[in-house]
Structure 1
C-alpha cells in the first residue's frame, strides 16, 4: 500500500476525534439525537480546522447502518465508502472548479433522485463562496425546499462572500483556530503512535508555524520526518520553516529595556544572516509585546489569553513585571510605526533597526538633574535659573510631546504601577520647606521645568500635565486647571501614585511643598502645540538638499 500522509491518516473519523471544535460537534450530536436535523448547513472558518472532516462525519452519521447516530460505526459499507470518498450518496463538489450555472443546473436535476444505498443524499460543496451569483440564484429554490432525503453542507473560508439569501437558508457553524496547546497534544499522540522521539520545543515550534491549523501541523511533522529521518531537533524545524524562537524576542526586549542598542542590532543582524523573514520577526515581536501587556495586566488567568506552554508564560510574566505598562504600550505603537514604514520601503530590516534604537534609547534616556534651590549666605532665598532650553528639531519635539494616541496608550492603572525611583540628587533632606511661601507666579515660571523634570521620572505624568495650567495658589494649595477636553488626563493624575509623583516633583522644582487640587476650568483653552520653525531645522535642510525639494505649502 502506498504511503498515506499524516493529514489523511489522522483525519478525524468521528465527532469525538475532532480537535478544538467542541461547540460544533456537541450541537450536531444533539441535533442527531433529537432528530432535529436541518436540510442545509454552512461550515465557515480558517483552512485546515476540520470543516470538510466534520461534513464527512455528519454524512456518515446520517447514512450509517445504525444511523442516524451520534457515533457512526466506521465499519459498515456506507461508512467505509464515505471515508474513502467513493460513496454514490455523498457527492463532494469543489466550488472553485464547478462554479458556473450549468453545474448547478445539473445538481438541481439530480437532487430529485433518491439515494442508492443510504438513507440520505448529502451534497458537500467546498469553497462555496467561489460560486457565481447566477449559480447561487439557481440554487435558491432547491436549497429552500429540498427533498426530505437531501442534506446540503457548504464549507467556506470566506462566508462574507456568500449571498445573504443563501446564508438565511442555512444553519451556520463558525469553526475556530485550534489553540496551540491542543495542537501540541495531538502531535504528541501522533509521535507516540509513530514511535518518534521529539522534544517539547519542537512541538511548540510546529504549532506556532501552523497558526491554529491542525492539517498544516500534521503536514509540517510529515515534512520534518522526511528531512530528519525520525531524529527531529529544534534546529531542523527552524531551518525548514524559517521560524524565530521565543528566546530571541526575550533577549531583544531585555536589550532594549536595558538601553543596549548594539545588542539589539546584533540580534537583528543574526536573524537576517540566517535568511529569516524580517516581516515574520516584526510580527512575532508585536505578538511578544502583546503577551507582555496581558501578563502585566492580568494577575490570574494568563494561561487563558497567552496560548503558550507554562514555562514560556512564566518567563514572559517575569519579564513583564520588570517593565512599566506605559513602556510596553509605547513599544507596541512604535512597532505599528515600523510596520507602516516597512510597507513604504523595499526592506523591513531598516525600520526594524530604527525601532530597536528607539526602544533602547527610550528606555535608557534619563533627564539630567535640574538645578536645585540654593540658599545664598546673604539675603533671601533665591532659586537659580535653569539653563535656557536647547532648540531641537521638530521631529524630536513631536516625539517628546506625543500624539493623543500615545497619551491614551501610556495610561498606567494605579494598581499596576510599580515603585518610582526619584533621583536622590534632585532633592536632599532639609532643602524643601513646607512653610516656604510659593506664589502662582513662581509656579508659572517653573512650569516648563516641572514638565521636563517629570519626563525623567514618569513620562505619562509629564505628558498629561502638558494639557494643564496652574490657575491658583493660595495658602499652600495649588489648583491645576484642565480644559474640558482633558477630563481623562485629570482623572488619571488624581490617582494617588501619580499625585505623589507630582507633589514630589513640584517640591523639587519650586522648593516648597504644596497641596494639590485638580479641577476642570471652564473656558480654559487646550494647550497649544509648540510650533517649531521647521524650515530652519537641520533635519529639514538635509532632506531638502538630499531630494532637491521645495516647500509647496504649510
Structure 2
C-alpha cells in the first residue's frame, strides 16, 4: 500500500475532530439537530483551518443514512462515497480553474436534477472569490431561489472579494487562525500515534512555522519525520526548515543594548554567510521587539504572546533593556528598512547601516522625567532663578547692564554660590553596564585600587531605572559592609557618573547560596591581615589609628 501523507491520513471525519473551530462546529451541529439547514453557506478564513474539511463533514451529515445528523456514521454507502470523493451528489468545484460564466451556466443546468442516492445535492465551490463578475451574476438567481434539494457551500480565504449580493444570500462562518498552543497539542497527538519522538521545543517551532494552518503543520511534521527519523529535535527543525535560531535574536538584541556595534556587525556577517534571507530576519527582529513591547505594557502578556516557558523566561531577562519609546523607534527603523529592501539597494548594506543606527541610538527620555530630575536635584530652591536648556545644561547668561552708582553707595553684594546643575538624563541598561564594567573597574583602579578590587568581586545582576544591583557571593558580607560606607558610596556614585556620563545609583546585595566565581581583574584581592597583632607590634601605627578614629584595611609595599 502506498504511503499516505499525514494531512490526508488524519483529516477530520467528525465535527468534534475539527481543531479550534468550536464556534463553527457548534452552530452547524445545532442547526442539523433542529433541522434548520440553510441553502447556502460561506466559509471564510486563513488557509488550512478546516473550511473544505468542514464542508465535506456537513455534506456527510446531510446525506448520511441517519441524516440530517450532527454525527454522520461514516459507514453507510453515502458517507463512504463522500470520503472517497466519488459521490455523484457531492460536487467539489475549484473556482480557480472554473472561473467563466459558461461553467456557472452548466452548473445552473445541473442543479435541477434530483440527487441519485443521497437526500441533498451539494455543491462545494472552493476559492469562490476567483469567479469572474459575470459568473457571480449568473449564479445569483440560482442562489437566491435554489431548488429544495440543493445546498451551496462556498469556501474562500478572501471574503471581501465576494460580492455583497452573494454574501447576503448565505450564512457566513469565519474560521479562525489556530493558535500555536492548540496546533502543537494536535501535532503532539499525531506524533504519538505515528510513534515519532519530538521534543516540545521542536513542536513549538513547527507550529509557529505553520502560521495557524493545521494542514501546513502536518505537512511540516511529515517533512521533519523524513529528515530526522524517529527523533526530532529543535536543532533538526532549524536545519531542515532553514529557520533562524531564536537565540540568535537574543544575542543580537544583547549586542544592540550594550551598544556593541562591532559584535552586532560580526553577527550580521554570520547571518549573511549562513544564507538566511535578510527580509526574513527583519520580520523576526520586528516580532522580537513586539514581544518586548507587549511584556512591558500588557497586564497578561502570556495571553497575547505564543511563547514556550523557556522563551518567556529569556524575554523576561531582556524586558528592561529598552524603554517603550525605544522599542517603538526600533520597530519603526525595521519597518522602514523592510520597505527600502524592495527598492533594489543591497540588502546587506541596509542591514549593516540600520544595525549601526540601532546600536548608537540614544535612549528615549520623557519630558516629565526631565522635569522630575530637575526638581529633585540638590541646590535648586527656586526654578525661576535657573536658566537652562531642556537637558539641564546651563544656558549662556547675558551680561547684566551696568548702571552708574553714587560714590557713597554700599558695595554690591557678593555673587551667590553656584548652583549645581544635574547631569545628563540618559537611560542605562544591563548589557551596557555588564559590557563596560571591566573598563569602569580599570578607571577606578587608578584613583582607588582597594575599592576597585572589592567592586571587581561583585557581579552585576540587574539594572532598572538607572539603579545598578551588584551582588557579592558567599563570603562577600564583609566586602558589602566596606563599600557601603558613606565615604566609599560617594566615591562610587561620582565615578559612575563620570564614567557613564549620567546619574546612576548602586545598591549591593549578598547571595549566600552561590559561590563567587568571579576573579578580580582590576587588582589582586586585598591581603588578609591580623590587625590586632599589627597594632600591638607597631605603636606608631596604633597612635595614628586612634588619633584619626580609623581602621587598617590593607597593606601596600612601597618601592624604594
User: TM tier, shorter chain?
Assistant: 0.5 to 0.7
Q: Which residue of the partner structure matches residue 84 of structure 1?
A: 84
Contact 1:205 1:245 in 2 (8 A): no
Q: Which residue of the partner structure matches residue 310 of structure 1?
A: 309
CA distance in 2 between counterparts of 1:234 and 1:262 reads 29
CA distance in 2 between counterparts of 1:428 and 1:224 reads 61
CA distance in 2 between counterparts of 1:242 and 1:420 reads 50
Map 1:62-461 onto structure 2 (within 5 A): 62-299=62-299, 301-362=300-361, 432-434=379-381, 438-439=384-385, 442-443=386-387, 446-447=388-389, 450=392, 456-457=424-425
Per the alignment, in what secondary structure is the counterpart of residue 87 of structure 2?
A: coil
CA distance in 2 between counterparts of 1:184 and 1:325 reads 31
345-354 or 133-142: which moved more?
345-354
The CA deviation at 1:92 is: 0.4
CA distance in 2 between counterparts of 1:218 and 1:62 reads 28
Q: What residue ranges of structure 2 are gaps of 5+ in the alignment? A: 395-420, 428-464, 466-496, 498-560
Q: 1:231 to 1:457 in 2, by over 3 A?
A: same
Per the alignment, in what secondary structure is the counterpart of residue 152 of structure 1?
A: strand
The CA deviation at 1:323 is: 2.9
The CA deviation at 1:412 is: 7.0
Q: Which residue of the partner structure matches residue 13 of structure 1?
A: 13
Per the alignment, in what secondary structure is the counterpart of residue 176 of structure 1?
A: coil
Per the alignment, in what secondary structure is the counterpart of residue 361 of structure 2?
A: helix
TM-score with structure 2 length normalisation?
0.67
CA distance in 2 between counterparts of 1:113 and 1:91 reads 13
Deviations 1:429-487 (A, max 9, x none): 6xx152x6844xx52xx22563799994158xxxxxxxxxxxxxxxxxxxxxxxxxxxx
Deviations 1:221-273 (A, max 9, x none): 11122222333233332222211122121111111111112222222222221
Q: Which residue of the partner structure matches residue 370 of structure 1?
A: none
Deviations 1:43-102 (A, max 9, x none): 111111111001001111111111111111222221111111111111001111111111
Q: 1:264 to 1:220 in 2, by over 3 A?
A: same
Q: Larger Cα Rg: Structure 1 or Structure 2?
A: 2
Tell me how many residue pairs correspond in the alignment.
Answer: 402
Q: 1:95 to 1:411 in 2, by over 3 A?
A: farther
Deviations 1:507-538 (A, max 9, x none): x9xxxxxxxxxxxxxxxxxxxxxxxxxxxxxx
The CA deviation at 1:340 is: 2.3
CA distance in 1 between counterparts of 2:163 and 2:30 reads 28
Contact 2:365 2:425 in 1 (8 A): no
Q: 1:438 to 1:144 in 2, by over 3 A?
A: closer
The CA deviation at 1:208 is: 1.7
Q: 1:68 to 1:412 in 2, by over 3 A?
A: farther
CA distance in 1 between counterparts of 2:366 and 2:11 reads 48
Per the alignment, in what secondary structure is the counterpart of residue 23 of structure 1?
A: helix
CA distance in 2 between counterparts of 1:420 and 1:221 reads 56
Contact 1:242 1:277 in 2 (8 A): no
Q: What residue ranges of structure 1 are gaps of 5+ in the alignment? A: 366-409, 460-496, 498-507, 509-554
TM-score with structure 1 length normalisation?
0.68
The CA deviation at 1:348 is: 2.5
